[in-house]
Amino acid sequence: MHVDTLILVADLLGTFAFAAGGAYTALRAAKLDIVGMIFLGVVSAVGGGIIRDVLIGNIPPIALDVWYYLVVATAGSLLPMVLHRPNRLLKMTVQLFDSVGLSLFCVVGAVKAMSAGLTPLAAITMGAITAVGGGVLRDLMVKRVPEVLRTGFYVIPALVGATIVVVAGVVDVTSPWASLAGGLAAWLLRMLGVWRGLQAPSAPTEAAP
């Protein structure tokens, strides 16, 4: 599969996964109606990509310029209507879709940033922003502290996945295997963090007087 085709497929799959995760979050955390569920799902799916495109000067953002992104996001947002999950499984479902979206978007964001001529460090940052931006907007809209600020093993896998892709690009390895390796590494790290409850070290807090 050609790299550009692979990136498009990854972008659309990530859009669907994040939309589904956002919609399940709407049910679990906010108990929103179908309109709120779709809105939260779409914001989760395209928010990070829109932030990335605005920062790299890709105006209008591709999610608003190409019709099928919003269609895929809407379809993902409707998944809870046909795939019902018991309350005890909702958290696991959200984490699963978030992990898939995270791993796909960190790769897509890094590749698009490199294509725009950004430096390697900036491309890694854009990969992470693409991966976590939609989730941050989603959490803020349901009045939750964004997960990226509560767990170190949300953004760290995104940074690792984006770094693998960018390093491969720097050494001129542009085959689909580089993107697959970056996405797989991000997904495995995120799932390991969920499974083992891993956290980045916290800053020490001062003892009360």
Q: pTM for the complete prediction?
A: 0.86
Query: Tens place of pLDDT for every residue, the chain, 209 residues?
Result: 455 787 888 899 999 999 998 888 887 776 788 898 899 999 999 999 999 999 999 999 999 999 999 999 999 999 888 877 666 666 777 788 888 999 999 999 999 999 999 999 999 999 999 999 998 998 898 888 887 777 667 889 999 999 999 999 888 766 678 888 999 999 999 988 877 776 666 655 554 44
From the CB of residue 9, how many other CB atoms can be counted at a distance below 10 Å?
Answer: 13
Please give the DSSP secondary-structure letter assigned to residue 30.
I
Residue 95, in any domain of the structure: yes
Q: In the prediction, which pLDDT does 165 show? A: 94
Residue 205, in any domain of the structure: no
* 3-state SS, residue 9: helix
Q: Buried b / exposed e across 89-118, counting CB within 10 Å, b at 16+? A: ebeebbbbbbbbbbbbbbbbbbbbbbebeb
Q: In the prediction, which pLDDT does 207 show? A: 47
Lookup: tokens for 89: 């499984």
> Could you give the number of structural domains in the chain?
1
Residue 206, in any domain of the structure: no
Q: What is the distance between the alpha carbons of residues 141 and 110, in angstroms, rounded to a whole number?
A: 26
Residue 209, in any domain of the structure: no
Residue 203, in any domain of the structure: no
Which has the closest alpha carbon to 147: 205, 190, 83, 105?
190
Transcribe 143-162 into DSSP letters. T---HHHH-HHHHHHHHHHH
Residue 207, in any domain of the structure: no
Distances in whole angstroms, Cα of residue 92 to Cα of each of 24, 66, 113, 141, 195? 10, 31, 31, 21, 10
Q: In the prediction, which pLDDT does 31 show? A: 74
Q: In the prediction, which pLDDT does 96 show? A: 84
Which has the closest alpha carbon to 124: 58, 52, 193?
52
Residue 208, in any domain of the structure: no
Q: What is the distance between the alpha carbons of residues 134 and 63, in angstroms, rounded to a whole number?
A: 12
Q: In the prediction, which pLDDT does 33 show? A: 85
Range of the domain at 32: 3-196
Residue 92, in any domain of the structure: yes
180-185 CB contacts, 8 Å cutoff, 24+ apart: 180/6, 182/106, 182/107, 182/110, 183/10, 183/103, 183/104, 183/106, 183/107, 184/103, 185/157, 185/160, 185/161
Q: In the prediction, which pLDDT does 208 show? A: 44
